Structure 1
Amino acid sequence: MQELTFFTNPNSRGRIIRWMLEELGVPYTTKVLEYGGDIKSPYYLKLNPMGKVPAIKHGDLVVTEGAAICAYLADHYADKNLAPALSSPQRGTYYRWLFFAAGPLEMATTAKAYDWRIDAENSQSVGCGLYQNVLDTLETALENGPYLCGEQFTAADVYVGSHISWGMMFKSLEERPSFKRYVQRLESREAAIRANQLDDALVKQD
């Protein structure tokens, strides 16, 4: 069995991958990196030249970027059913919302948080378009079932749900009723609770 190492900081997007790993229920080793410290060490920069977390090392393979890590893990551990089958029409839906969150949603909420100008004058040139359009589009993703792929909980829910939860927490995303219901549903999962407990314990150690 290939060793799976998880590089993270509890005050980071690493929480997404912690949750994903807990949903999988597979063994992994956690390496906590400190901001301003070993996160910029020569060893880690060889793994991820960005000097950011999260990242995983699975055997000799390194995967960075939250959405990519979620997609990779779901495919590698296909028996855990955290992605629709390749032959399923829902596979396209899964990819759509996973990468919608990694692209337009993150861009729009970051622009909102830092008051970057995106308006009718420049929105056609900006990947996310207008903020309200992003939120309206995201809301349509939640219309057809308890999860993004209907009845099946997937890695896309881990990734998208995390972004919605943080967006509402930090006021970069409107607290729409559909968003709140979705997040409450996800946060009640045993793996999500367990993941938060593990990362909260690391925060308390600092």
Structure 2
Amino acid sequence: MSDPILYTNPMSRGRIARWMLEETGSHYTTQIVPFGPVMKDAEYRSINPMGKVPALQHNDHIITETAAIIAYLADVFPDAKLAPTADERAKYYRWLFFGAGPVEAAVSNHASGFNPTEEQGRFIGYGSYETVMDVLDQALSETPYITGDRFTAADVYVGAQVNFGLGFNTIEKRPSFIAYSQRLLERPALQRATALDDADMAKMKA
């Protein structure tokens, strides 16, 4: 089995994939893809036709979309115990895709100044930003991690959304969000990933 190759940029959602790789404890390499022409050229589009990062190459497989990368890594590195148990599976998939769907869309739109009217909310998948925040708040008020008492790969994605939102004021500073974020920020894997990404960002700006 070859080591994963992460195509990333330290100013992107690639930071989430790096965090997940650090959680697995696996050996991996990174390829920094600059924004602009390089990310949109034919060579990189052969990896990800969307011209976006992150992307993961592992053995003969290419995986794109951050949530898919996280779920894939949880499955192929089972010793890290980041994939769900049988009892956790329903909540795991529910909240992983809630993070990749409603949370991602609602927060991005809200930060961009678009908040659907009540009528628009009937056909927009997440309904409203307020509803998404309330649902996430309720979930994180009930258990320390998104699927229950144990950290899983779903927390990497949902947690990254919460951490980013709190840091950039794109989500409300509710007590459950702050407590959840503080638990995650104590994780050594996240601290390592952050240090590596920050170092790469400094090199790019030098």
Q: Conserved in 1, the CA contact under 8 Å of 2:115 and 2:129? A: no
2:98 corresponds in structure 1 to 100
Q: Which residue of 2 aligns with 1:188?
A: 186
Alpha carbons 2:8, 2:31 under 8 Å: kept: yes
Q: Residues of 1 paired with 2:96 and 2:15: CA distance?
A: 16
For 1:34, the equivalent position in structure 2 comes to 34
Letter in 2 for 1:16: I
Alpha-carbon distance in structure 2 between the residues aligned to 1:119 and 1:90: 35
Tell me the SS of whatever aligns to 1:121. helix
| Residues 8-17 or 165-174, more deviating | 165-174
Cα deviation 1:45-100 (Å, max 9, x = unaligned): 01111000001000110000000000010011112110112xx2211100011000
In structure 2, what is the equivalent of residue 162 of structure 1?
A: 160
**Partner of 1:153 in structure 2?**
151
Q: How does 1:3-152 map to 2 (within 5 A)?
A: 3-85=3-85, 88-152=86-150
Shift of residue 36, structure 1, vs aligned partner: 1.0
Deviations 1:151-203 (A, max 9, x none): 21111000000001111222221011110110010011000100000000011
Letter in 2 for 1:121: E
* RMSD of aligned alpha carbons: 1.1
Question: Gaps spanning 5+ residues in structure 1: where?
Answer: none
Measured in 2, the distance between the counterparts of 1:94 and 1:117 equals 28
Question: Residue type of the partner of 1:77?
Answer: F
Deviates more, 1:103-112 or 1:140-149: 140-149
CA distance in 2, matches of 1:27, 1:103: 30
Q: Tell me the amino acid that sits aligned with residue 21 of structure 2.
A: L
The residue identity in structure 1 corresponding to 2:11 is: N
Q: Is the CA contact (8 Å cut-off) linking 1:97 and 1:141 kept in structure 2?
A: no
* CA distance in 1 between partners of 2:134 and 2:183 (Å): 20
Amino acid at match of 2:107: T
Hey, what's the Cα distance between the residues in 2 that align with 1:121 and 1:45?
Answer: 38
> Which segment is superposed worse, 165-174 or 188-197?
165-174
Question: What is the one-letter code of the residue matched to 1:57?
Answer: Q
**Unaligned segments of structure 2, at least 5 residues:** none
> How far, CA to CA, are the matches of 1:140 and 1:63 in structure 2?
32
Shift of 1:37: 3.5
Question: 2:110 & 2:154 partners in 1: Cα distance?
Answer: 23
The offset of 1:41, in angstroms, is: 2.6
Give the partner amino acid of 2:119. Answer: E
